[in-house]
Amino acid sequence: MEVILDNDMTGEEMTLNMGPHHPSTHGVLRFVLKTDGEILRKATPDVGYLHRSLEKIAERTTYEGFMPYTDRIDYLAAMFANEAWATACERMYEVEVPKRAQYLRAITGELNRIISHLISLGCMAMDLGAFTPFILALREREFVNDFIEELCGARLTYNYDRIGGVAFDIPTGWSDKVLEWCDHFEPMVDEFDRLITFNDIFVKRCANITIITGKEAIDWGIVGPNLRASGIQWDVRRDDPYGVYPELEFDVPIGKGIVGTVGDCFDRFWVRVEEMRQSTRIVRQCLKKIDAHPVNDIQGKLPKKLRFEGEVYAHVESARGDLGIYVIGQGKDQPYRVRIRTGSFTSMGIIESKSPGIFVADLVALISSIDVVAPEIDR
């Protein structure tokens, strides 16, 4: 951290630059801290270091040509941005997506949710001083990366979804390997709980720290696991369903104040652990149902020219919450305007209001618990 002496003549207040390359900021992200010793008076986010003009790029390329760029919105959960863009375009052209492709989207999306949460939880534990859980999380993530690489050839930026379906069907034996991993993963989550979730030191670092009430979460536009950790039951998959989610059975975990108060750092951690269990449950159901649909029926029929006039909005439940894409078309093969709504950007706003009076070390816990990803903030 860079220390800048303030004009405060008492010498009690300092201005600290936390970032833009500080490890706990989870990307190129800067916070300007006003501190009185170890106590924060204010922490102000300073974003924009990773801005790449993705929305403007979308307006300068074709509808189908923008799909690879969506991977860069959130590189830890690229499947969801793929699906959001594909869904928006499918609504424009009234394309019917084959059922098998919808199941493949759900399978790959939930696997992506699991590995995104593994990175989030492992990094939060590491930020608070526990390194071993991060290694355990990376090990499980590599298994899933291998599955996705076998499916589409990529491990991070997938470019798997297509307008009207998906790019590839599952290879022979792939389902059995994923199911075998699910059998291994569920006991591993229990082990993860014993190792870190209910570890006494970790609980004391997270319980009752930076509580975000349900009303505050709604007022600040917080979404996803952070919203649900504050006790609000809202999940796009259930409350505004898309794809095959209406046919699936799963629970929506919410914060319960198990060791502290509803909406604290611990609840934001615990909700993501429970979501990994639910995602595994969804993957099992989809792999069981997908065999009822013809092999390689993975692409719907598109119009000859992908041109659209009007406006459309589509959103999905990403690993970081409600990911929405709004598109305006003017009858050309390029959109006139694209707007991307992400969970990380809206989560940044509440940090400044929650920072006064907490320790600098607690700010690290807060940033980790809301699971921000810098590309999603800047776009």
Q: Which tens digits make up the pLDDT trace of 34-45? A: 999 889 999 998
How far is it, in rounded angstroms, from Cα 80 to Cα 100? 17
**pLDDT tens, residue by residue, 198-238:** 999 999 999 999 999 999 999 999 999 999 999 999 999 99
pLDDT at 377: 86
pLDDT of 162 reads: 93
Is 39 strand, coil or helix? Answer: strand
Domain 95-302+352-378 has CATH 1.10.645.10: yes
Domain extents in the chain:
2-46, 95-302+352-378
**Interacting residues of 164 by C-beta distance below 8 A, sequence separation 6+:** 86, 90, 95, 97, 101, 299, 300, 301, 302
Q: Tokens at residue 339, please?
A: 């707007």
- Integer Cα distance of 269 and 153 in angstroms: 31
CA distances from 152 to 36, 146, 147, 148 (A): 51, 10, 9, 6
The two three-digit tokens of residue 314, written as one number: 């589509």
pTM (2 decimals)?
Answer: 0.92
In the chain, which residues have pLDDT < 70? 1-11
